[in-house]
Each structure stands twice: as C-alpha cells, then as structure tokens.
Amino acid sequence: MKLHVEWTECEGHGMCVQHVPELVDLDDEGTLTLLREDFGEPEAAAVRSAVAACPKAALSIGE
C-alpha cells in the first residue's frame, strides 16, 4: 500500500505527523515531507487515522 499526498491541497497542519511520523515529517516552516510512501498492514490503521485527520483531505491510500 502507498500513502499519497495531494501537494496542492496540503497546508501543513501536521495532523498526519501525529499519526505516522515514520512516513511524514513537517519542518519548522510548515512544509510536509513524505519520508516514505510504502507501508504495510502493521501501519495501516495509523495511516487510515492520518488520512481521516487531515483537515484538507490531502492524503489518500492507494496501491
């Protein structure tokens, strides 16, 4: 599975970082960095939580 970021929608709120800090990071200027897009079943619940928490719906899960 892969975590996708719609970069034009992301405003750097950082809600996703709280759920999956191993996949995404937010710098001091509020710029999101995708550390790794691939994730496995053990991380799936946390990734779904991150997707749901995004106030701009900038995250999605794909294959």
Instruction: Give the pLDDT mean for 44-57.
Output: 98
Report the predicted TM-score, pTM, of the whole model to 2 decimal places: 0.92
First to last CA, the chain: 5
Count of alpha carbons within 13 Å of 6, Cβ hemisphere only? Answer: 12
Query: Is residue 3 a contact partner of residue 23, using CB atoms and an 8 Å limit?
Result: yes
> What per-residue confidence (pLDDT) applies to 35?
98
Beta bridge partners of 61: 3
Give tens-digit pLDDT for 2-45.
Answer: 999 999 999 999 999 999 999 999 999 999 999 999 999 999 99
CATH number of the domain encompassing residue 8: 3.30.70.20
Our count of domains for the chain comes to 1
Domain that holds residue 45: 2-62
